[in-house]
Structure 1
Amino acid sequence: MRKPTHSIQLPTNLAPYSSLKTIPNFHFLPLPSKPTKLSFRVFSSRSADSPPPPSSTQNLTLISILRTVPDWADAIKERGMQQKRSLYNHETWVEHRSSRRHVRHLLSSFSSRVILSLIPPVIAFTSVAVIVASYNSAVTFHWLPEFFPLLRASSLPYQLTAPALALLLVFRTEASYSRFEEGRKAWTKIIAGTNDFARQVVAGVESSGDALLKKALLQYIMAFPVALKCHVIYGSDIRQDLQNLLEVDDLAVVLSSKHRPRCIIEFISQSLQLLNLDDAKRHVLESKLSCFHEGIGVCEQLMGIPIPLSYTRLTSRFLVLWHLTLPIILWEDCNWIVVPATFISAASLFCIEEVGVLIEEPFPMLALDELCKLVHNNIQEAIASEKLIQAQLIAKRKNHADEHSPNGRPSSEVDRKLG
């Protein structure tokens, strides 16, 4: 019975240890440096597999929920930007100026990418109007303590700043339209220059030994507008667009180039050097390349240099502050009508600003695919009709050479006028 009693008292009394071997075993159990280092690593860097803290998870979820509607609206806008535009014909113009266009445009409002892209700001500002109207109603009906003030203000500041906002929106939209017009004119020159260049190649290159090189040169000329279109429009598939215009080895060189339009210009320039032409005719054909270089310069300038960002930011901030305080200004006269009034104002003014932002980048707004297809069809038609027209003119020349003209001039003079 004494033995268990002696074993229980040993931990309480540290003096009577039986041997020194138990002392080092007792002191070596804790690791002095490892626990500190491990605890530092756990708190300083979190592994990828560990779940985030509850607060960060809630914040991420709230942010993702708030960004759902803007992301959806932006996706609709970007899909609309990538849609191919079509050129107008006579039937399209008749429909465009029809008296039923107002009903047609109203019914298509819910499929308009401009209107759908405005859903986030319009909903946000209308919600602010609902909150302000609810708060003022609660204060008016004494549902809140008396120290809560009524949110109202004079409308005089809005009357003074309304012309400034209107002028700012007009200037912003006008500046965007001038960029759209500049892009349209640049592509008009490119298309006209391409058609003229191809026409001179078809008519000027007559040597039978240059037939294959002439065909390749015309392919390069047709490929240039397509390459430039892919260069200025985001999301274009240049491989698919050029696979029917260029040979496989030529297409590989173009795709490996950093600047595809200039690479095709180099193909055109080298082809002109290899043609059997006199210097004057070669110089005339090479001068047509200046139109291509000018078109590249204008397009890259419009792509790289937007409207001064100060105007864009100022317009956006002005509109946001205007509609955040609009319910407070209108409450005195409109009460709960501030909600539809804010909705109409936000939908109208933000729609004008959105149109200005969209046409600031002009190339997705132009029917570039249709223009490139039109150039291809025109050149193909010129190639196909070249031999037919030439044969008819030669036959007509031969018929006139066999007989005198009605006014008695000899056939040699007729030949000189026809040929």
Structure 2
Amino acid sequence: MTTPKSSFHITPSSSSQFPLRTPFKFPSKPSKIFCARNSNPPSPPTPINLISILRVIPDWADAIQESRLKQKRPLYKYEDWVEHRSSLRHVKHLLSSLSSRVILSLVPPVLAFTAVAVVVSSYNTAVYWDLLPEFFPTLRASSLPYQLTAPALALLLVFRTEASYSRFEEGRKAWTKVISGTNDFARQVIVSVGTDSVLKMALLQYILAFPIALKCHLIHGSDIGGDLKNLLEDDDLDLVLSSNHRPRCIIQFISQSLQLLNLESSTRTTLESKVTCFHEGIGVCEQITSIPIPLSYTRLTSRFLVLWHLTLPIILWDDCHWIVVPATFISAASLFCIEEVGVLIEEPFPMLALDELCKLVYDNVQEALMSEKKIREILGAKMKDAASRRQSSNGYPVSGAGQSTWPNN
């Protein structure tokens, strides 16, 4: 166990605090240390062929989607809510369609099915104008099968999206418990641990490091070395980075620190019970990350959508003719967009403002440490003043001493 580094200033008094001159912040520059311990070696350049040419647009759309997922999400404030419920939000959302990662990720399938509609329309037009031999039939079919299967497709998309949102909600609730547990754990340490100020500050460092380590454990490519370098000692950080499971390594630091503190058995038991919240958070988050929605359900939805739009131009030809091209485009853009949203929120943690939540916890603990001594002095002065007012000059209680009234009464 080492003493905290200079980023945490320990004064001789009982009120240790994080100094304002070295505030905790997430580094803006990427570090060389990432959550993934073993980075994959660069793959050799792919030779140019037909498959690589056809994959240009899908690879471009996937790259944009993955880069957008790595952007930090903000916590909503009052101004954000005002803009969120503004009556002009529909116009703003429409104008920003081309910058939406959901819509950009739909470019490959929508273009593919629109191209199929163009091919079917061109073929039927060529048959109608006798540009092809007579044995070439017109591609048409009855719309009755679509009328019968449309409700099934709608229910399938609704259930798929609902299942994904339930995972998103479960992940949000798990992180709410982690954040509230971290705040409560730090508050208990600040109040219960009056001595061993150096070890107390080290324990608070480990408590604050846990949600950051859990965030980096869940989101691939997170810079755990940069996030923790201003919070943990170098030897502590090296041990955490060398661990196979960083959040559980920090829990071990917390448990060992509690054993070294000079605490009463009841206080130690209370503090150790707070670690259970961290273990539960790890378990829930890892289950969400490791176990997706049953793949058969996802594949069924995808296959249903693909077959639906491959045959849609044939079904609509008799009624729409060349209008099947915009009709297929609109149908593919709408239905695949619903399915794409379900796929995105199926992995909830990149969608949550985890960086802001971790920073909020740090700010709360820092404020609690800074106000700890002042609050004790104020409460001590009140107790002395109340004791002095209860006794008169001859030693008898004063009538109504110590009573308070509601403000403005």
Bin for the TM-score computed over the shorter chain: 0.7 to 0.9
Match of 2:115 in 1: 127
Q: Is the 8 A contact 2:389 2:402 kept in 1?
A: no
Residue type matched to 2:318 in 1? E
Q: Distance in 2 between matches of 1:365 and 1:333?
A: 42
Higher helix share: 1
Q: What SS is found at the alignment partner of 2:389?
A: coil
Paired position in structure 2 for 1:197 = 185
Query: CA separation in 1, counterparts of 2:386 and 2:47?
Result: 90
In the other structure, the counterpart of 2:366 is 380
- Kindly tell me the number of residue pairs found equivalent between the two proteins: 355
How far the C-alpha of 1:388 sits from its partner, in A, is 1.0
d(CA) in 2 for partners of 1:203 and 1:176? Answer: 41
2:398 equivalent among 384, 408, 414 = 408
Normalising by structure 1, report the TM-score.
0.82
Contact 1:319 1:350 in 2 (8 A): yes
Letter paired with 1:338: V
Structure 2 residue matching 1:284: 3-state secondary structure = helix
Supply the distance in 1 between the matched residues of 2:249 and 2:198 (Cα, whole angstroms). Answer: 20
The corresponding residue for 2:93 is 105
Residue 293 of structure 1 corresponds to 279
**1:176–1:359 Cα contact (<8 Å) kept:** yes
Quote the Cα distance in structure 2 between the aligned partners of 1:230 and 1:95.
Answer: 31
Gaps of 5+ in 2: 1-45, 404-409
Question: What is residue 15 of structure 2 aligned with on the other side?
Answer: none
Match of 1:187 in 2: 175
Distance 1:402 1:99 in 2: 61
Q: Hey, what does 2:57 align to over in structure 1? A: 69
Deviation of the 1:411 alpha carbon: 9.3
CA deviation digits over 1:312-342, x for unaligned, max 9?
0000000000000000000000000000000
Q: Find the counterpart in structure 1 of residue 20 from structure 2.
A: none
CA contact (8 A) 1:80 1:113 kept: yes
Post-superposition offset of 1:397: 1.9
In the other structure, the counterpart of 1:311 is: 297
State the SS of the aligned residue for 2:292: coil
1:332 counterpart letter in structure 2: D
Select which of 185, 193, 205 maps to 1:219: 205
**What is the CA–CA distance in structure 2 between the aligned matches of 1:410 and 1:334, rounded to whole Å?**
89
Deviations 1:4-55 (A, max 9, x none): xxxxxxxxxxxxxxxxxxxxxxxxxxxxxxxxxxxxxxxxxxxxxxxxxxxx
Q: Which residue matches 1:334? A: 320
Q: Secondary structure at the match of 2:390?
A: coil
Pairs within 5 Å for 1:4-403:
60-207=48-195, 210-403=196-389
Partner SS state of residue 88, structure 1: coil
* Cα shift at 1:398: 2.2
What code does the residue aligned with 1:255 have?
Answer: L
Long gaps (5+) in structure 1: 1-57, 414-419
Q: Deviations over 1:199-230 (max 9, x none)?
A: 010000012xx000000000000000000000
Q: CA deviation at 1:399?
A: 2.4
- State the distance in 2 between where 1:349 and 1:412 align: 69
Deviation at 1:291, TM superposition (A): 0.3
Would the aligned equivalents of 1:402 and 1:411 in 2 still touch at CA under 8 Å?
Answer: no
CA RMSD after TM alignment: 1.9
- Distance in 2 between residues matched to 1:351 and 1:148, nearest whole Å: 36
Structure 1 letter corresponding to 2:357:
L
- Asked if 2 retains the 8 angstrom alpha-carbon contact of 1:401 and 1:411, the reply is no
Q: Which has the higher contact order (CA 8 A, sep 6+)?
A: 2
1:261-307 CA deviation, whole Å, 9 max, x = no partner? 00000000000001111100000000000000000000000011000
| 8 Å Cα contact 2:255-2:272 kept in structure 1 | yes
Amino acid at match of 2:92: R
Q: 2-side partners of 1:326 and 1:346: how far apart?
A: 10
Distance 1:349 1:410 in 2: 73
Whether contact under 8 Å (2:126, 2:132) holds in the other structure is yes
Percent identity, aligned pairs only? 75
Q: Secondary structure at the match of 1:244?
A: coil
Q: Secondary structure at the match of 1:307?
A: coil
- Given the superposition, is the C-alpha separation of residues 290 and 59 from structure 1 closer, same or farther in structure 2, using an over 3 Å criterion? closer
CA distance in structure 2 between the partners assigned to 1:137 and 1:103 by the alignment: 38
